[in-house]
Structure 1
Amino acid sequence: MKRSGQLIIGMLVAVAAVYYTVRNVSMEELLDSFANVHYGYLAISALMMILTYVARAVRWRVLLAPVKEVRTIELGSPLMVGFMAGVLPARAGELIRAFLLGKKLNMSFASALATIVVERLFDMVLLLMLFAWLLVFHADMLESKIAWSGIPIQTIAFQFGLASVVLVVGLVVFIYLLIYHEERAMKLVHWFMKPFPETFQYKIVQMAETFSQGLHVVKSLRSLMWVFVATAAVWALVILQYYPLYFAYDLNEKTLASTILLTVMICIFITILPTPAFLGSLNAGVLIALHEIMNEPEVAAVSFGFVAWGLNFIVVMVGGIYFILHDHISVKNLVDIEEEV
């Protein structure tokens, strides 16, 4: 499917998700909610979001340390431009991030992508830990009879958790084979690629052969521990970035469990609804967590979702544009990169 087609589909899904969140709220109610927000807390939330990306850059430096020593500030450009490219279809931002990192540090694209895969692997592990914490200590939150598109939220959450576990195990096994049993790993790659055209097979096999160069961090237990600590810091900030908005809207439930539930629901919906820049999917996650499950006023939950999305979008766009101008990256080159990779 052409990129333009993917973008159109993504935008249609975003429109449908936005409609789902605002269908029971009038424009007048929504505007009144925006007007009554305590705006000082929004600045705190935006600061937390900025710190989240700083923490991501620090973690990326830790991941790269066994491969190449690099300063955290040097990773700002590929990180923020990559996240800004999240408006492109098929999650192309991650591929652009790997391409820009490889170009900046003179690494192969596959090696740079490997560091991002390990990063996402740790993200999934932390997300599963948060999900497990909710199940053990706050199972009542996920026992709701609420449904989304006819599917119970409980079913969606459990299916997402199961799929994440399978993906984590699969990635761990593949990475282990690639590092310690490369021949077996390559046979596995060849087997999976059989149904695809030869040119595509060749490209993927070539990438797999250089992919392991970006996995050196996995060979060191000490490095893995530091990556885990950095990932914990990232997720602590991800959770905390929404907390000031609880006070901005004077919500009733201002507990740690509520913010973790909110974070988990947002992650579930931005994964199953891959919309450009997470528009609509993030809003749906917020609405279900705050209104459907936590029983906060619907208009406050809808407004909260738009403000949370808007703040993060502004942080990412300002950061991305700054580094595009600073590093003289043309927008046309970003589109060309997205087509190439």
Structure 2
Amino acid sequence: MFDWLVNLSAIFVFNTLGLEKGSHLGEALHFFIYDTIKIFILLITIIYIVTLLRSYFPIEKARDYISGKNKLVGHVLAAIFGVITPFCSCSAIPLFLGFLQARIPLGVTFSYLISAPLSDAVVIALLFSLFGWKIALLYVGLGLLIAIVAGLVIGSMNLEKEVLIEIKPVSMQYQEDETLFSHRVKESWEYTKDIFYKIYLYVIIGVGIGAFIHGYIPADFISKYAGGDVWYAPIVAVIMGIPMYSNAAGILPLVEVLTQKGMLLGTALSFMMAVVALSLPEAMILKRVLSVKLIGIFFGIVGFAILLTGYLFNIILG
């Protein structure tokens, strides 16, 4: 989707600025420029579209349907929707915000936020080509399970008060005349700017941290401390993976290298899940939207689930 942006940022960094491809600074700066602009585009586009659409449609009815008697349905649908949206953890935040603004139940929005970065069609294809269809299906199935269960747990804790941004009611009531659409467009744009101005600095800081890690942390460092068949390897892998930042397709080549260097596949996949589903840049961006308490609960629940998944992978594949 954003190949053109990757190419443009590469031309700027490696041709215009003259930095060397493969160098720590060059790779970090390339990542920073590309990912910051990408997330800004997604933020503005998705929040604007969701805000404009919710002025036309009865969001309350959709919310009541999703949060109806069978709560599991909403979480399953959100998790499946996450699989078909090719976003990394930070890129999924704009749609997560859109769901919050549409008053979708908090737990359901987290099921989406967890599921979206874990797997998509590209990741499934890469997993299949690298490790076979059994590993691919097991990974996707466990990823969906983590998203659904974690969303259900968070939703049951009544944490709506920990959302820091104002969830405005849909109050656009207009006469059916020729100015109707222009009013909606203007108000939606003003609301989008308001949300963007509140979080853009956190996006820059978060992506900056991710870019530094992307450019300066080598694979050998990870395999040295989280490789081998020791009981604590998945714990170390998850702890090391959380501060990092990448999408699943981007981290899979690293997973292949780590397994070749002696890391168990379950440990490597739990590292991959921690990198893509939880990241320090994601936490920095969410800090402007959610309380530290809610972010901590989110990271704790998902991190523990990923850890269990790593051990389960190692048992099944051992």
Category of TM-score, reference length = shorter chain: under 0.3
Select the structure that is richer in helix.
Answer: 1
TM-score (norm 2): 0.27
TM-score (norm 1): 0.26
